[in-house]
């Protein structure tokens, strides 16, 4: 069966050198993607991830700080003129501080990377996405939101707001780009092992796992699976969805 095959497809994953981005990049390669381009701010991290992922398929790494529009445009230019079947907007940052102490700089840092980058990079890569799009097998944009954009966590004001914005941006772009045979969907991860979650899981991992209805933290295959679904023929008719991958946390 080829329902979940990504044979012949090219993907770009921002923040693809660690955590959820690395899980997705590996999953796309294991599903048969012809090439996966990973990007992150640090060149050294890009080289390390590319070396690790090369065991699973054809990988290219392009360092870029997508928190600025200029870098989004440069990344798109370095990607080149070829078709892009799957764009995964995953790069993100978080910040936590009490309400009275929350700095203005934390709003700029988090919103620039979490919310503005998916918009500017998707726009910059539209020619590539259009070149890959065919009726019945559209090009795909997968935005990585968060259950924090659905629930109401404390003290991460810019993060939770930016992720709720990612979910709404997903719906708006899905409506606009759908007629061009480009789908736009969002994944809202719950607790997964990543650098962003490391300190929280070290301190409260057992408590969090016990709170999740499935009684565990997310695993790499859980994230890879939903990305492969959305990127493959299996997800060709899904557009404008925000899919929680959280073991049921958002049901509480």
Active site residues: 159
Contact 39, 50 (CB under 8 A): no
Sequential DSSP letters for 201-233: HHHHHHHHHHHSTTSS-B-HHHHHHHHHHHHSG
Cβ count within 10 A of residue 244: 21
Q: How far apart are CA 50 and CA 136, in angstroms?
A: 31
Contact 178, 191 (CB under 8 A): no
Closest Cα partner for 36 from 83, 72, 86?
86
Q: Which residue has the tokens 């959305």?
A: 230
């Amino acid at each position: 069966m080829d329902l979940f095959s990504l044979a012949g497809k090219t993907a770009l994953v921002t923040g693809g050198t660690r955590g959820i981005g690395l899980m997705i990049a590996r999953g796309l390669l294991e599903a048969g993607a012809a090439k996966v381009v990973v990007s992150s701010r640090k060149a050294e991290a890009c080289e390390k991830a590319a070396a690790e992922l090369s065991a699973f398929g054809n990988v290219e790494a392009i360092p870029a700080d997508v928190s600025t529009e200029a870098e989004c445009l440069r990344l798109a230019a370095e990607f080149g003129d070829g078709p892009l079947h799957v764009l995964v907007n995953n790069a993100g940052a978080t910040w936590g501080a009490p309400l009275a102490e929350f700095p203005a700089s934390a709003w700029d840092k988090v919103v620039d990377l979490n919310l503005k980058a998916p918009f500017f990079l998707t726009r910059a890569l539209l020619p590539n996405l259009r070149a890959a799009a065919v009726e019945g097998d559209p090009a795909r944009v997968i935005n990585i939101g968060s259950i924090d954009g659905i629930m109401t966590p404390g003290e991460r004001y810019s993060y939770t707001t930016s992720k709720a914005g990612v979910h709404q941006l997903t719906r708006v772009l899905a409506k606009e780009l759908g007629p061009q045979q480009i789908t736009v969907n969002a994944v809202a991860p719950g607790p997964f092992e990543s650098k962003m979650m490391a300190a929280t899981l070290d301190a409260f991992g057992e408590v969090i796992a016990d709170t999740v209805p499935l009684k565990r933290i997310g695993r790499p295959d859980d994230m890879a699976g939903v990305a492969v679904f959305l990127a493959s023929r299996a997800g060709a008719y899904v557009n404008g969805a925000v899919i929680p991958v959280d073991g049921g946390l958002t049901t509480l």
